[in-house]
Amino acid sequence: MKTLLVAVDRNDAPEMRAALGDEFELRFCHTLQAARTGLDGIDAVLCGLHFDEGKLFALLEMLNAAPLSPRPRILCIKDAGGPLSPAIRKSIAIAVARMGARGFTDLAELRAGHGEAQARRLFRDTVRELVGDA
């Protein structure tokens, strides 16, 4: 079973747990300090846009500086609120990619376009691909 460090706002944790189901071992953290201590043995990092009051980029910097081997793959996510505008979504995707993330997924956009159940399936597919189980 692949282990994911899920770095999200505390309020987003129940939705992440529901969206990811039970096929991954989920290690939640809600602060940058907790993320620092939870890196051992992880396969991937899911980092929420609202993690630790907006410290997504600080987490990406920390992951880039950490002496991890192998390097975990990173996916940035947005769960809370409505979908982002295409320009904002593209800007975030470019920024996180330049900092080493494999992508950016807007779950609100997936829900709006596909409904809750299909959005969760698509998200799990993305995470499976991220960890190499697709």
Q: Are 32 and 55 contacting, i.e. CB atoms less than 8 angstroms apart?
A: yes
Does residue 61 contact residue 32 with C-beta atoms inside 8 Å?
no
* Model pLDDT for residues 78-128, shown as the tens digit of each residue: 987 777 888 998 999 999 999 999 999 999 889 889 999 999 999 999 999
Each residue's pLDDT tens digit, 4-50: 999 999 999 999 999 999 999 999 999 999 999 988 889 999 999 98
Report DSSP letters for 114-129, one per residue: H-HHHHHHHHHHHHHH
Whole-model pTM?
Answer: 0.92
Domain ranges, ordered by start, for the chain = 3-131
* pLDDT for the residue 134: 46
Given this model, what pLDDT does residue 30 score? 96
Confidence band for 133, pLDDT divided at 50, 70 and 90: low
Domain 3-131 is of which CATH architecture?
Answer: 3-Layer(aba) Sandwich (3.40)
**CA pseudo-torsion sign 11, 50, 26, 66:** negative
Encoded tokens for 131: 């960890």
For 62-87, give the DSSP string.
Answer: HHHHS--SSPPEEEEEE-SSSPPPHH
Cα separations (Å) of 134 from 2, 31, 97, 122? 12, 30, 21, 12
Q: Cα(8)–Cα(48) distance, rounded to whole angstroms? A: 5
Give the model's pLDDT for residue 85. Answer: 86
Structure tokens belonging to residue 101: 């993330």
Is the model more confident about 133 or about 7? 7
- The predicted-structure confidence for 50-90, as pLDDT tens digits, reads as follows 899 989 999 999 998 988 778 889 999 998 777 788 899 89
